[in-house]
A and B are shown apart, each in its own frame.
Chain A
Amino acid sequence: MTDDKVCTVCGDAECKEGHQVCHTCFSMAQAEDFAAPAKDGGFMETFRKGITTTNPVFILLLGLCPTLAVSTSLDNAFGMSAAVMFVLLGSNIIVSMIRKWVPDIVRIPTFIVIIATFVTIIHLSMQAFVPPLSKSLGIYVPLIVVNCIILGRAEAFASKNGPLQSLSDAFGIGIGFAGAIVLISFFRQLLGTGILELFGTKLVEVPGLVDHPMNIFVLPMGAFMVLGLALAAFRYMGVMENE
């Protein structure tokens, strides 16, 4: 998309670290992380990779905006995951089916229009069928259109692989995203309110916390703290590598 040679991650004209940046969002995925998984991997292999080694949130650091913004409660997290999963499945399948007819030069605009169409579908459906959820997710549902996970998968995977592979990739990445956002919202809701609630059913109630909840976790700052600590913990345990 750009014709200059400046690395957008480190601003170095002769970046040797092979940074490859998602053009949507500057996400600092390294070249090998962002590349499509090996083509010879089977359905399950591609699926597994989406959850573990190419987990969109914890490893690639993509799609941070919705992850942090709507992870205040488990309801929101599941709603957001479902919306992202729907758009990801739809766009990955359509993109992989039309990949041979789309000229390279109009590739990105085409993908964006496809994604925007699916986002419109899910946005209107949520408004119609689950108005409270739609209201609490707010502008973050329409903003799925610029979620770099989806454009990233369309560009890096679906435009190079067949529909079946792309389907499994979408499932894997979608579940990887869901796992991350649910994990974060679990801690935020539990510590921030003392009550763990899922679609109106009370799951857990921590006695002392209910009266004196740690409000910071439901505030926006809490999201930064939880994700920062989670990343550090994963590194400490060796699940993901240091920079």
Chain B
Amino acid sequence: MSDLISIFIGMALINNFILTKFLGLCPFFGVSKKLNAAISMGLAVMVVMLAASLVTWVIYYQILLVYEIEYMQIVIYILVIASLVQIIEMAIKRTNIQLYNALGIYLPLITTNCAVLGVTFINTQEGFGLVEALVAALGAGFGFTLVLGMMSGIRERLELADVPESFRGIPVAFLVAMILGLAFLGFGGIV
């Protein structure tokens, strides 16, 4: 159990996907201007991460390893994620239209989000079991949502701030990310 907790904290806070692994940076700077959009995006990523970790784990250990075709990993994983996103999108559309309205538009866009593919590669690389892989995905998704939410709050304020002209927009967002990263360094002592 304590293993699982340390995996969760490690993925969510210490090795935060955005701030220390630089995965999913594009949505980080792209959608992080509005809080609602950021949270919805984060949740969509978390759902896809969980599903992708489950499916890729089964495929890797039950098919790729058994038939010794591990070299197909990259091609298979990206196809799995792309089709999974389509299926999840259709499923949500049929069952819960409100959820679809909240998450729907972000789903097709995260097909090839590097954070999703990244978590599946990390799961395989670290040799995680199924439960560990799911916890890792949950942690990664949580950390992603947390930082995306924080950043959007900060950027809403930044819009009103008097930033030097050359720094306006993206450059100052990078510097904010740096300061957030420094703050997250403090979590390094938890585990």
The residues of A with any CB-CB pair to B shorter than 8 Å are 1-2, 4, 6, 8-11, 21-28, 61-62, 64-66, 68-69, 109, 112-113, 116-117, 119-120, 123-124, 139, 142-143, 145-148, 151, 216, 219-225, 227-229, 231-233, 235-236, 242-243
Contact = CB atoms under 8 A, between A and B. Distances in A.
A143 B168 contact: no
Given A26-B27, A145-B117, A235 B22 contact: no
B174 A116 contact: no
Given A2-B108, A109-B82, A143-B121, A235 B171 contact: yes
Contact of A68 (B25, B27, B121): B25
Contacts of B114: 25, 65, 143, 146-147
Interface in B1-38: 19-27, 29-31, 33-34, 37
Contact of A27 (B20, B26, B104, B171): B26
B105 A8 contact: yes
Contact of A143 (B104, B117, B166, B178): B117
Interface string B47-90: 00000000000000000000000011111001100100000000
Given A139-B125, A151-B112, A242-B168, A146 B117 contact: yes
B65 to A, nearest CB: 17
B30 A25 contact: yes
A243 B169 contact: yes
B178 A116 contact: no
Interface string B136-171: 000000000000000000000000000011111111
Given A25-B26, A139-B121, A117 B75 contact: yes
A173 to B, nearest CB: 17
Given A116-B78, A216-B182, A232-B171, 5 more contacts: A27-B26, A146-B117, A222-B178, A225-B174, A231-B171
Contact of A232 (B82, B121, B167): B167
Contact of A142 (B21, B27, B74, B175): B74
Interface residues of B, number: 54
Interface string B110-141: 01111001100110010000000000000000
Contacts of A231: 170-171, 174
Main SS of the interface on chain B?
helix
B92 interface: no
A64 B109 contact: no
A220 B20 contact: yes
Given A10-B33, A120-B71, A25 B168 contact: no
A234 to B, nearest CB: 8
Interface of B: 19-27, 29-31, 33-34, 37, 71-75, 78-79, 82, 104-105, 108-109, 111-114, 117-118, 121-122, 125, 164-175, 177-179, 181-182, 185
Contact of B171 (A1, A123, A222, A229): A229
A60 B181 CA distance: 24
Contacts of B109: 1-2, 8, 21, 23-24, 26
Contacts of B122: 139
16 contacts: A1-B108, A4-B105, A11-B33, A62-B26, A64-B26, A69-B21, A113-B75, A116-B74, A142-B121, A146-B78, A221-B19, A221-B179, A227-B174, A229-B171, A232-B171, A243-B169
